[in-house]
Structure 1
């Protein structure tokens, strides 16, 4: 599973979440459930859908801009907002509701951490026990890592132990984790590790005397009053309620929860599923000592390993001090995997407020929404709403459609998509123009970050590490013996730094994919095969288009179509493009410059468009 909570929480906090509401107008539509509720405690029973009308009006605007999912806010146990927006399944036209279940991805780690503390309270383990002492079958350097170090990602585990939705049994998982390398002396550094939390799940199963899943459902997911908050996306026990279909950036639907298992690639680190309301209720129950003791709840929320800039790792969470946004808070999130869901949950101790947002579509994710509305909520201002496409007519989509070539060789393929366009870039020059690094490293990636990821991907696919050799073997198993791997452009997109690669098999077949690696060179996210990087555009004036990016988290570019030329202007201003010999040219792809490409081909009039 992909870890995204550091980036998401760094940009937002829900302090003062209900202190500021907007009076923006709204339009009724069937896909949204919102009504007043009288339940005073969301943890006591399933609350009826409700949301403050002013908050709801703003969230409706975000729904129209592409947000699809569910939102829950509780303050001191009272449900302030439980609402759902968008579609749970486009094919069946089923709307999301307050009872819709989503995968919460890496927020599972918060559940696993709480389970470890329950077992410590019962005297079945100690936080300073070594993993090998609790699991005699565990071998290698990982056996010397302590439970506390696993909880805080300071054990130094390097690499992954299995693919998310490939069968992996308990014995095989233990063997795979035993083979992992330790990148630094345990306790002396930080390296986020999914395998570390699966190791904790294996320890839970060993010391509890029952299965990880059975113990978790019976002890850690059971809310005050006896109701169980969710279950597991794949396998049993299952959460009650209808499920949201996840949609990936490629347009494909995500894993639907029918994977038969065994599930040890995800257990402990990314397998739990809940409604947004249950996630908020569970978070409150955890930090108000209803799931663990008051001493354990305090320990879970106490800053552990210092991450800098007012942030610190805690067991299953990241703690932010008051220097960041005026009030301390804790945050966790999960997403970016094969399910197609994105989840964020915050806990603000001073207000005893829990905020949970979960999405099932990529256009405006849960993290995107929190990044956008958080600062205004803190300042006590109305919630910001997404900008609407310009009303001034752009060129007809058919007039802009075609293939455009830069003088340096990169290409843009432009096709119609609904009321706008989609542009796919091929070649480092074209990708760099369409997806320039944001000024000052905004959105989480500087030019140096991009270069570092590209260097790590080269090392990985050259087989210079154990994980790299394993990855090469997996690629050859899927695509046949490889003749070569070409590393292409690197960009920041969808919350990941992605380096694109082209695999060439011995039979000449070519496959495109991308990798996002962590600081130790481990795979944190990847998609192989996939298409080239693609950007959706909406009209922004007579000849201009801008990214279809309601939350403003994507690239800062303007695309202009005029007289057979396509100009891509990066952040910081415009610089004149020059037309070179043969009709192609570019003025560079850095900040404040314009890359100019000339149409080389136009599709036939019968070419299909995207809806």
Structure 2
């Protein structure tokens, strides 16, 4: 019998018994939920930007938004906000495969040569099971999520590339494997991937705000994604409307959804409403061992079909998955024995919020657990200062950074990447060059940084200083594996010709 079904009178009697005996009572989930809400609210200024749902049994403990879905217009995140759920998409692909298995339209032992013609010999006997468990051996496709790639071009590249290892030999997370699965779904179901999901899952469960382009999206509810917690990359939907959903993404990522829709989905799985008990058991079985996620408090993990399954320091069975596309982050944690669901959907890329869902879970499980404040994102700290400060001074910026974060210096990679973004979007170009100057001041013996400074001088038309910087980078080059030397040499040659 679940906790939610135990009568109120019985629970009161149990409470009074232990209270009278003077035994310690674990704080109620609602009390821990108050602590969690307070922690999240207090860390909004440190980078928490998400919508979060926490339920136990039939009780909703948290269902609210934190931070902003769209910063310029100051639109707050809420339970209705639509997020890109990234790799949480994989569980729907796996479930769709199992639905077709239930309908006896395919088998998990089917091999690729049953669905694709003219395959190389090393790929003919890869099974659907191996694709589902990331053990097929495919290399990742050399492209980005929103690059337009036709179906034929995508699969021609995928199937002509060498495998990384013999199929079934080991586990390696593979987006390509799930894209192949989506194509198998389309072939067997005789419709496109999104339409099939909509027909068999989303419509029956009234998940009206889940999909790529089929839902009637309200643009006011779509979250903007903020790269490194500062750079607005807009919504995924506006990119889909421009070029369609890239084959790179179909089946492995990019679905949009909300807290409510994902909760409906989880409840349906838990109750075997949308898939049979056998299929749900297969979905969440421990098929292959994976590296443990220590930062997520998991001591051992396995991959099921579209889900990771393992144990934690406080639960014998944790079913979970994460998503991250470089801008949006997402996590689902499902603890069946404790009847707990946690859905975390965030519209910012930040190291400080990487494992935030697991921090929430631990706070829910352990009364005394006190997580550290969310780690400030260095990009956002710098960009906020740059945006509001007219005086362009690397020294003053460094002083501000040290006072704000407590760190003595800034990562050279952060400075380099931020300056490239500023040049790319033609924003704060004076600061972009100043950041590159600061980088060589902080790390004068790094030739790569001098090469980057040379590129910065080229951007602003200071050719003599550019040539000087490129020459300096070559003087600092290592004897072997100089990844910037070719660029510096070519730049010097081209610039001196002119």
TM range, smaller chain? 0.5 to 0.7
| Corresponding residue of 2:345 | 358
How far residue 142 of structure 1 moved from its aligned partner, in angstroms, is: 2.8
| Corresponding residue of 1:150 | 131
Gapped runs of 5+ residues in structure 1? 1-15, 23-51, 390-395, 405-411, 432-482, 490-498, 511-611
Is residue 274 of structure 2 the alignment partner of residue 291 of structure 1? yes
| Corresponding residue of 2:169 | 188
Structure 2 counterpart SS, 1:175: helix
- The answer as to whether partners of 1:239 and 1:273 remain within 8 angstroms in 2 is no
| Corresponding residue of 2:210 | 230
How far residue 383 of structure 1 moved from its aligned partner, in angstroms, is: 5.4
Q: Which structure features the higher share of helix residues?
A: 2
Change (3 A) 1:509 1:310: farther
CA distance in 2, matches of 1:317, 1:71: 19
Is residue 232 of structure 2 the alignment partner of residue 253 of structure 1? yes
Change (3 A) 1:348 1:215: same
| Corresponding residue of 2:73 | 92
1:555-595 alpha-carbon deviations (Å, 9 max, x no partner): xxxxxxxxxxxxxxxxxxxxxxxxxxxxxxxxxxxxxxxxx
CA distance in 2, matches of 1:143, 1:229: 38
CA distance in 1, matches of 2:110, 2:96: 16
Query: 396, 420, 441: which one pairs with 2:404?
Result: 420
Gapped runs of 5+ residues in structure 2? 1-25, 292-298, 377-384, 418-469, 494-498
Query: 336, 342, 367: which one pairs with 1:349?
Result: 336
CA distance in 1, matches of 2:163, 2:27: 41
Query: 76, 85, 88: which one pairs with 1:104?
Result: 85
| Corresponding residue of 1:534 | none
Is residue 31 of structure 2 the alignment partner of residue 21 of structure 1? yes
Structure 2 counterpart SS, 1:115: helix
Structure 1 counterpart SS, 2:152: helix
1:437-457 alpha-carbon deviations (Å, 9 max, x no partner): xxxxxxxxxxxxxxxxxxxxx
| Corresponding residue of 1:455 | none
- The answer as to whether partners of 1:335 and 1:341 remain within 8 angstroms in 2 is yes
| Corresponding residue of 2:311 | 321
CA distance in 1, matches of 2:201, 2:129: 19
Structure 2 counterpart SS, 1:166: coil
- The answer as to whether partners of 1:150 and 1:197 remain within 8 angstroms in 2 is yes
1:335-385 alpha-carbon deviations (Å, 9 max, x no partner): 143xx1110101111123211011112357653323434434322336546
CA distance in 1, matches of 2:55, 2:304: 22
| Corresponding residue of 2:140 | 159
Change (3 A) 1:336 1:21: farther
Give the RMSD, CA atoms, in angstroms: 4.0
Q: Rg: which structure is higher?
A: 2
Is residue 293 of structure 2 the alignment partner of residue 310 of structure 1? no
Correspondences of 1:357-396 after superposition (within 5 Å): 357-363=344-350, 366-381=353-368, 384=371, 386=373
CA distance in 2, matches of 1:364, 1:351: 29
Change (3 A) 1:371 1:73: closer
- The answer as to whether partners of 1:71 and 1:84 remain within 8 angstroms in 2 is yes
CA distance in 2, matches of 1:263, 1:18: 46
TM-score by length of 1: 0.56
Change (3 A) 1:299 1:239: farther
How far residue 509 of structure 1 moved from its aligned partner, in angstroms, is: 8.3
CA distance in 2, matches of 1:190, 1:388: 31
1:310-339 alpha-carbon deviations (Å, 9 max, x no partner): 2111111111136x43331111011143xx
CA distance in 2, matches of 1:502, 1:278: 51
Change (3 A) 1:502 1:341: farther
Query: 313, 317, 320: which one pairs with 1:331?
Result: 320
CA distance in 2, matches of 1:255, 1:377: 33
Correspondences of 1:476-491 after superposition (within 5 Å): none
Query: 151, 160, 164: which one pairs with 1:170?
Result: 151
Q: Which structure features the higher share of strand residues?
A: 1
1:93-137 alpha-carbon deviations (Å, 9 max, x no partner): 111111100001011111111111001111111001002212336
Structure 1 counterpart SS, 2:256: strand
Correspondences of 1:397-436 after superposition (within 5 Å): 414=398, 416=400, 420=404, 423-426=409-412
- The answer as to whether partners of 2:352 and 2:374 remain within 8 angstroms in 1 is no
Change (3 A) 1:292 1:17: farther
Query: 205, 211, 214: which one pairs with 2:195?
Result: 214
- The answer as to whether partners of 1:142 and 1:157 remain within 8 angstroms in 2 is no
CA distance in 2, matches of 1:376, 1:294: 31
Change (3 A) 1:305 1:345: same
Change (3 A) 1:367 1:237: same
- The answer as to whether partners of 1:331 and 1:345 remain within 8 angstroms in 2 is yes
1:13-56 alpha-carbon deviations (Å, 9 max, x no partner): xxx9963735xxxxxxxxxxxxxxxxxxxxxxxxxxxxx65543
Structure 2 counterpart SS, 1:207: helix
CA distance in 2, matches of 1:142, 1:94: 48
How far residue 217 of structure 1 moved from its aligned partner, in angstroms, is: 1.6
| Corresponding residue of 2:256 | 273
| Corresponding residue of 2:19 | none
1:148-188 alpha-carbon deviations (Å, 9 max, x no partner): 00000011112325421111122122212211322222112
